[in-house]
Amino acid sequence: MGTQMDRSRVAVRWATRAGPVAAALILLPLLATKSSVLAVPAGPPPIAAGCSVQALGTLGGLFGNAVAVNRQGVAVGIADDAKGVAQPVLWRGRTPQRLITGLSGSVPLAVNAAGQVIGTGVDTAKGSPAGWAWSRGRATRLKAHEDRVAWPEAINDHGVIVGVLLPDEGGPAEASGHAGEDENDWAAVWPSPSSEPVVLSPLRGDQGAHAFAVDGRGRAAGVSQGAKFTPVVWEASGQPRALPTLGGGYGIVRGLSDSGVAVGDAVRADGADHAVMWDAAGRITDLGLPSGARSAKAETILPNGVIVGTAELAVRGGGWRTQAVHWTAPGAIQVLPSAAGAAANAGDSTTVAGYRADGAGGRHPTLWRCER
């Protein structure tokens, strides 16, 4: 995406938000008080009962992908127009509304209760990515420091945005050349869509950081990058606090609730990536893997304690696919009906936004509404 940004890095960041992503709903009646590994029954997980499927419309094309939904059921994502070009859209009901952002290749990433949408696109004049916020028919370009690119990840209901300031390739920030910097990302918070960004410091000794989540109190969460990748929560004051991992040197917070419960994934000493949860005191719980899965990660936590995440399941005959699953309790795993994947965000306690894949792999924008 853009000639002045590392294409593989941008592709990875997009994949973590809205690419072949699956959703997992995890009901957590009690918070764990210590790290634990969940035993999962043998055999494939059953299909979830009590979940209805609603297909969303496109702009005249065949395909699309719903990326996020808020508590009012307003969803955002991309949908093909009659020429087969993916466009940023907002759905109220089944009918999409195209979002005009002033950028090419725009992709919405999140929507809050007020209907404010954030996303990314490409500034064709500069040839580099740019972040934007949209509200009531008007788009605002997110501000960035010199030689940086604004990349938003999440927005809370007060309009506070978090994400990262990426080095613009070829600029002084990109050319610093210090070992282990992971391209010197700067975690950032925008107090409002029109505000200047405020840089969030990494942990002492680390070189960079990336914020993926923000709660209603303005606390941010994500990862601090150095010799290891350490999950971190930033207090509203900006002070970072490290969270434990599973011993593999990597962990990341992807979702954060107002009660202080964080979710994400962490690598175990054996190299397997597991979905995890940290309670408000920072204690970690390994949420376990579905039977036959090689990895899983939690993406966000909903107001009723439901957690949305991903699972990579084995395919009969070989290979892997990302599959939407529904955990009714830790270790009790079901898949969402007809789901080949789902978006990383969901906004209320019963609705998940994503896509269903047809036999040829085409994606169709979808909402799942589950009773639990």
Whether residue 246 contacts residue 268, with contact meaning beta carbons closer than 8 Å, is answered with: yes
Residues 182-237: pLDDT tens digits? Answer: 458 999 999 999 999 999 999 999 999 999 999 999 999 999 999 999 999 999 99
Cα 35 to Cα 285: distance, rounded to the nearest angstrom? 4
Is 101 within 8 Å of 110 (Cβ atoms)?
no
Residue 311 CB-half CA count within 13 A? 30
pLDDT of residue 242: 98
Instruction: Indicate whether 136 pLDDT > 80.
Output: yes
Q: Say yes or no to pLDDT of 92 above 80.
A: yes
User: Whose CA is closest to 336, among 50, 48, 22, 20?
Assistant: 48
Contacts of 343 (CB under 8 A, 6+ apart): 17, 18, 21, 23, 65, 66, 67, 68, 77, 352, 353, 354, 355
The pLDDT score that the predictor gives to residue 28 is: 30
- Residue 66: count other Cβ atoms within 10 Å of its Cβ: 31
259 DSSP assignment: T
Arch. (CATH architecture) of 7-370: 7 Propeller (2.130)
Lowest-pLDDT range, 82-86, 202-206, 272-276, 311-315? Answer: 311-315
* Confidence class for position 350, pLDDT limits 50, 70, 90: confident
pLDDT at 299: 82
Query: What's the pLDDT score for residue 340?
Result: 52
* 37-57: pLDDT as tens digits: 443 444 566 676 777 889 999
Question: Whole-model pTM?
Answer: 0.84
Phi, psi of 183 (to 5 degrees): 65, 15
- Average pLDDT taken over every residue of the chain: 81
Please give the pLDDT value at position 134: 98
pLDDT tens per residue, range 252-309? 999 999 999 999 999 999 999 998 999 999 999 998 787 788 998 888 777 767 677 7
Q: Is the pLDDT of residue 32 over 60?
A: no
More confident residue, 309 or 338: 309
Residue 346 has pLDDT above 60, yes or no: no
For 226, other C-beta atoms within 10 Å of its C-beta total 17
pLDDT recorded at residue 241: 97
Give the pLDDT confidence score for residue 338 in this predicted structure.
62
Please report, rounded to a whole number, the percentage of residues in the chain having pLDDT higher than 90: 55
